[in-house]
Amino acid sequence: MKNYEAYLFDLDGTIYRGNEPLLAAIDFVHTLYQKDIPYMFVSNNSTATPATVAKRLQNMGIKATPSQVITSGEAAVHFISQQDKEKSVYVIGESGLKTLLSEAGMKVKEDHPAYVVVGLDRKITYEKFTKACIAVRNGATFISTNNDSAIPTEDGLYPGNGALTSVITVATGQRPIFVGKPEKMMIEQAIERLGVKRETVVMVGDNYDTDIRAGINANIDTIHVQTGVTSKRALEKKDIPPTYSISSLSDWII
Amino acid sequence: MKNYEAYLFDLDGTIYRGNEPLLAAIDFVHTLYQKDIPYMFVSNNSTATPATVAKRLQNMGIKATPSQVITSGEAAVHFISQQDKEKSVYVIGESGLKTLLSEAGMKVKEDHPAYVVVGLDRKITYEKFTKACIAVRNGATFISTNNDSAIPTEDGLYPGNGALTSVITVATGQRPIFVGKPEKMMIEQAIERLGVKRETVVMVGDNYDTDIRAGINANIDTIHVQTGVTSKRALEKKDIPPTYSISSLSDWII
């Protein structure tokens, strides 16, 4: 074990499971808070704003401010804001993503936008897919908040944003820029915001294929927690192991 | 050139282009009719019934009965009817597909259907995708009417059924059985219905990747017409050429 100067956390499967907080994780974050060790939450979910996510965490007894949360929607907005191109966007997504785009002063338009941004939209229609396809064919930069194939719910696995995004990928033959984990973009943005050195940061998550892979892609250390998607056994089949794998955050001493 | 005993035709790009009949094709079909040479139309479109397609052809001055038309929706129903399994279906699709399923006496149900059938549905919703995903994960046989990535319209390329189907493929990790061209299923059904020998039938179409490939997959001769999607030039890159390629059906003497 190494003493890291900053911690990045996944949410579902790491901090809570569905609506149920994981007590070891909550204690762990509380210790970080007390010891004044910086931490952030890095979520692929684009349907909620960082403010909404922070509120949800606070309601679970976790110290969290909106600026300690990076969502894939926010990361997409940040990415666009840094490009040297007109800031007009056609967006497929829910209110969280739309709020962030409009707060950043980006112009939402259907006709020849500079960007198409796709986030999970449970009110998706054929017309929305069509507008996105035509814009991408007309040269819009195609961005997707994440490539999650499915979302766990109490009723089973629902289609994820990666599944919805595939409609546009297949129809246009264009692959999107994915913002969310396992891409490194959100990790890079978190490191930048924390203002710490890469070698002092660790990414903590339950899902090897998203959380741990994102850490590996960003060239930082990783802690796999066995409280969610990826079992200890499943890890054995992975080509690059996480830096550590622990049964829960109560096993990590700081 | 060979004298074939029966002809199979694609529709859009071969018999008409959008709403505009291709006169050489119409003359050609009329000659077949006069000479009493059997012919059928083989369409990937699942949104219309064979009766509706026949009517549309008749309105263009083409002799066509519903039994001379095979659509991918009808072929899907035929495929299911021949399987030794409960005939319950969850369907994503438009009225053409739904009409055919109900006319065949198949029970439409959402909860644990034996089949999920996906056809183009321009009223698609997240809820429909979700129901299909859950049914496929529960073991339903996953059938898709066709794998067309895009549909040409006057306003540009719209997402095709293959693009919509990919949501379920990505979300469940299950690949569907595709019914439409380039699969051979519809060609086989047409040959069976015509009651002719395979070596006496030819498939006529403009699209190499669907029409011609379907003929090749069914091991029958093919005539590529240069009136639609695939240019003569594009043919040069294909590993297996069509049996013939002609600029239009006025070049084919019967």
pLDDT one-digit tens code per residue, A149-177 = 999 888 889 999 999 999 999 999 999 99
% of chain B exceeding 90 in pLDDT: 94
Mean pLDDT of chain B: 96
Q: Which of B126, B137, B164 would you mutate first to test chain A, the one with the most A CBs within 10 A?
A: B126
> What is the mean predicted confidence (pLDDT) over B122-142?
98
Tokens of B134: 């859950």
CATH of domain A85-178: 3.40.50.1000
> What is the mean predicted confidence (pLDDT) over A175-189?
98
CB atoms under 10 Å from CB of B6, counted, come to 19
Is A12 designated active site? yes
Picking from B157, B166, B171, the nearest residue to A157 by CB comes out as B171
* Chain A residue nearest residue B157, CA to CA: A134
Q: Do B133 and A159 touch (CB under 8 A)?
A: yes
Residue A153 in 3-state DSSP? strand
CB contact residues (below 8 A), chain A span 11-30, against chain B: none
Question: B72-92, pLDDT tens digit by residue?
Answer: 999 999 999 999 899 999 999
What is the structure's pLDDT at A154? 83
> What is the mean predicted confidence (pLDDT) over B28-56?
97
Q: Is residue A59 over pLDDT 90?
A: yes
Question: B190-237, pLDDT tens digit by residue?
Answer: 999 999 999 999 999 999 999 999 999 999 999 999 999 999 999 999
> What is the mean predicted confidence (pLDDT) over A235-253?
96
Q: Is residue B163 over pLDDT 80?
A: yes
Q: Is A233 in the B-facing interface, judged by CB distances under 8 Å?
A: no
Q: Do B163 and A129 touch (CB under 8 A)?
A: yes
Q: State which fold the A6-44+181-251 domain adopts.
A: Rossmann fold (3.40.50)
What is the count of residue pairs from A and B with beta carbons less than 8 Å apart? 98
Domain span(s) for CATH 3.40.50.1000 in chain A? 6-44+181-251, 85-178
Cα–Cα distance, A251 to B11 (Å, whole number): 66
Contacts of A139 in chain B (CB under 8 A): none
Mean pLDDT of chain A: 96
Tell me whether the omega of the peptide bond preceding residue B182 falls within 30 degrees of 0, making it cis: yes
Tokens of A80: 């666009």
Which residues does A92 contact at the CB level (< 8 Å), separation at least 6?
A116, A117, A118, A119, A121, A124, A128, A129, A132, A164
Question: A207-225, pLDDT tens digit by residue?
Answer: 999 999 999 999 999 999 9
Domain span(s) for CATH 3.40.50.1000 in chain B? 6-44+181-251, 84-178
Q: Do B125 and A124 touch (CB under 8 A)?
A: yes
Q: Is B149 in the A-facing interface, judged by CB distances under 8 Å?
A: yes
What is the structure's pLDDT at A155? 87
Cα–Cα distance, B182 to B211 (Å, whole number): 6
> What is the mean predicted confidence (pLDDT) over B163-182?
98
pLDDT band per the 50, 70, 90 thresholds, residue B24: very high
Look up residue A108 and give its amino acid: V
Q: Do A158 and B171 touch (CB under 8 A)?
A: yes
> What is the mean predicted confidence (pLDDT) over B15-40?
96
Q: Is residue A196 over pLDDT 80?
A: yes
What is the structure's pLDDT at A207? 97
Check the CA dihedral A44-A49-A50-A56 and report its sign.
negative
Residue A31 in 3-state DSSP? helix
For A1-97, strand residue ranges (E) read: 6-9, 16-17, 20-21, 39-43, 69-71, 88-92
Q: Which of B122, B170, B172, B178 would you mutate first to test chain A, the one with the most A CBs within 10 A?
A: B170
Q: Do B124 and A124 touch (CB under 8 A)?
A: yes
Nearest alpha-carbon partner for A203 in A24, A43, A19: A43
CATH superfamily, domain at B84-178: HAD superfamily/HAD-like (3.40.50.1000)
Picking from B130, B137, B157, the nearest residue to A133 by CB comes out as B157
Q: Is residue A18 over pLDDT 90?
A: no
Return the half-sphere exposure (C-beta side, CA atoms, 13 A cut-off) of residue B98: 10
Q: Is residue A90 over pLDDT 90?
A: yes
Active-site residue among B10, B148, B206, B211? B10
Shortest Cα–Cα distance, A156 to chain B (Å): 7
* Chain B residue nearest residue A127, CA to CA: B122
Picking from A122, A150, A157, the nearest residue to B126 by CB comes out as A122
What is the structure's pLDDT at B153? 87
Picking from B137, B156, B163, the nearest residue to A157 by CB comes out as B137
What is the structure's pLDDT at A61? 94
pLDDT band per the 50, 70, 90 thresholds, residue B154: confident
> Could you identify the residue written with the tokens 């009965």?
B65
What is the structure's pLDDT at B19? 86
What is the structure's pLDDT at A248? 96
Contacts of B133 in chain A (CB under 8 A): 150, 156-159
